[in-house]
Amino acid sequence: MKIKSKKVLVGVGNNLRSDDGAGSFIAQKFKCSSWLALDGKTAPENITSAIKKIKPKLLVIVDATEMNLDAGSLRIIPLEKIISLNISTHSMPLYFLIEYLKPYCQKIILIGIQPVSTQIGDSISKPVLKSCYSLIELLKDNRIEEIKILS
C-alpha cells in the first residue's frame, strides 16, 4: 500500500481516562483524503516507523494538555514549552517523541486540548468533545492558523 499523504495527524491519549482520550478520539474520527490519521493511543512511539517512512511535510500531534485554560480550549503548544507542561500520561514524554521525529518531518505542530478531567472511567466531557469536532473541521479545512498559540 502506497501512502500519498504528506500530512499526518497523530492522536495521543488514553480512552479509559475521560478527556485524556481526546487525541485518540480525534484520530479515530478523522477522515480526510489529504491526511493520514494515526491513533498513537498511550504509546505513540509505536507508530514512529510509519511516520519515518512517510516523511510528512506536516505532522500534527493532538493530546489533552493541562494548560490552566477553560475546558475544551485548543492551543498550539510551541515546542519549547512542552517540557514545562503536564502533557503526558503516556509511556514516553511527547518532547522526546518530537525530538526523535524532527529529522523526518518538515514541520511538527503539537495541539493541546484543555481537559475537564482525566479520571479513569469517565467519558469525554461535553466541552472537550465539542472541541474535538471543531479541531477535526479546522484540520480538514486547512485552518490550523485559527488556533491560538499558547503564551
Residue 54 in any domain: the answer is: yes
Question: What is the percentage of the chain residues whose pLDDT exceeds 70?
Answer: 90
Output the CA torsion 145→148→149→150 (10° steps): -160
* pLDDT for 88 beyond 80: no
Residue 2 in any domain: the answer is: no
Residue 151 in any domain: the answer is: no
Where are the strands (E) in 1-151, listed by range? 7-12, 35-41, 58-64, 74-77, 107-113
**What's the pLDDT score for residue 1?**
42
**What's the pLDDT score for residue 17?**
84
Q: What is the CATH number of the domain that holds 16?
A: 3.40.50.1450
pLDDT in tens, 21-50: 999 999 999 999 899 999 999 888 899 999
Number of domains in the chain: 1
Residue 86 in any domain: the answer is: yes
Q: What is the pTM of this model?
A: 0.91
Give the length of the chain.
Answer: 151
